[in-house]
Amino acid sequence: MRTRSRRNPSWLVALAVGGSFLLAGCAQFDNSAAGQTFVPAPQLTPQGGPQPQLPGDDPAPRAPSGGGPAASSTSIPPPQGCKDFDPAVIATCLDTVSAVAALPGDGSAPSAFGGERKSGRIMQATAGRPSTEFATVPVVATGDGGLTGLALSPDYTEDQLLFVYVTTDTDNRVLRLAKGQPPKAVLTGIPKGATGNHGTIATDGKSALLVATGDAGNPNAAADPNSLAGKVLRINTSGQPATGNPVAGSAVVASGLHAPGGICESTDGARLWVTDRLADKDAIYRLQIGKPLTAPAWTWADKPGVAGCADFTGYVAVTTSIAGNMQDLPIAPDGSVTGKPTVTNDGKNGRSYGRLAGMSLINPQLAVAGTVNKDGGKPGSSDDRLVLIPRDQSQATGSKD
């Protein structure tokens, strides 16, 4: 029952319109997946579409209120085993979905990969269909390690490759995955410790990968230019420093991380963000290539466990894996924070899914997030899950205080 997803959902998806050093352990190989064909997903159009409609709701369209398709918690029956009646849930009975990579699309059939931190299993889910296993990679999940980062290749429509950030017996590393082939190590030697192994990975919108690494339990490593720990690295798909990095021959583009949870980019490519957990607070930084991470854009003194993020234009949504909610941080067009976060998906403002971790945009109106309720939370019978999170129109237009 671990791979079962909810069949035939009755829902409509909301549409609204850094130091210098050489890297250790890089590998080069063919960047294509053999024997595969791919049809690109439909491109998003600017027209608005139907709003979410739930079982038993009035059929008239209505805008989401933070919680998205499942904003009404009273109209949805509780799960029965792996069957989840929430129309926002696209996969059930997974295990600690700490990493998520959405497949781009128009929202008519939302799809994503979800990576399980402890098992190293990567599942592919599409709304209304059973989940399928894409691959399983060996991981060591002690402490905060395991499979913690997942991203599509910058050229996914051509090569159909995935990249994952994992912990092994000896290090943290980046692997390349092609369907039906053994994983290939592209970047190895990222320090491993008793803690501080959590890392994440994303594309930068410019044919490169961004890799955020933990400090391996040594805060001094984050500032050490000779260490791969506590950094944001920019690499190509072969694991080499990407063209255009501030220091030629070095993958380091920012320094000062400790336990990063997510990297995200605005849809226009103007902004990059990275979340981090420090000893005394949680933080989100505006990531600027070549500049140190010294002044957070926002901090949380209560340490809710910031994890994944998604820039919805007008606000940045941040998942929390301890508090178990969403923190929607309002931003101006220049990327500056304009006010305190609005808490959503907490059971009061939108349906609660418990502890949330990885998050990824499907399109400018819709994201997908993974739950980690089996990692210290209170799992239900259908946990852990992949859930859809639509853009909150009132946040995006700045109408909330």
The secondary structure element, H or E, covering residue 157 is helix 156-159
Give residue 393's pLDDT: 78
Give residue 3's pLDDT: 40
Q: So where are the chain's domains?
A: 88-396
Report residue 319's pLDDT band, with 50, 70 and 90 as the boundaries: very high
pLDDT at residue 72 greater than cutoff 70 = no
pLDDT at residue 4 greater than cutoff 50 = no
Tell me the C-alpha distance between 80 and 323, whole Å. Answer: 25
pLDDT at residue 91 greater than cutoff 90 = yes
Contacts of 129 (CB under 8 A, 6+ apart): 5, 7
Instruction: Write the pLDDT tens digit of every residue in 161-174.
Output: 999 999 999 999 99
Helix (H, G, I), strand (E, B) or coil at 399: coil
pLDDT at residue 332 greater than cutoff 50 = yes
* Of residues 43 and 194, more confidently modeled: 194
Rounded (5°) CA angle 42-43-47: 115
Out of 111-115, 307-311, 347-351, which region has the weakest mean confidence (pLDDT)? 347-351
Sign, CA torsion 148/372/318/99:
positive
**Number of helical (H) and strand (E) elements in the chain, helices listed first:** 2, 24
Give residue 327's pLDDT: 98
Which pair of structure tokens corresponds to residue 91? 């996969």
CB burial of 206-215 (b: ≥16 within 10 Å; e: otherwise) equals: eebbbbbbbb
Report residue 74's pLDDT band, with 50, 70 and 90 as the boundaries: low
Among 3.40.50.300, 2.40.10.10, 3.20.20.140, 2.120.10.30, name the CATH number for the domain at 88-396. 2.120.10.30
Q: State the chain's mean pLDDT as an integer.
A: 84
Mean pLDDT of 136-149: 96
Beta strands in 117-168 (DSSP E): 121-126, 132-136, 147-152, 162-167
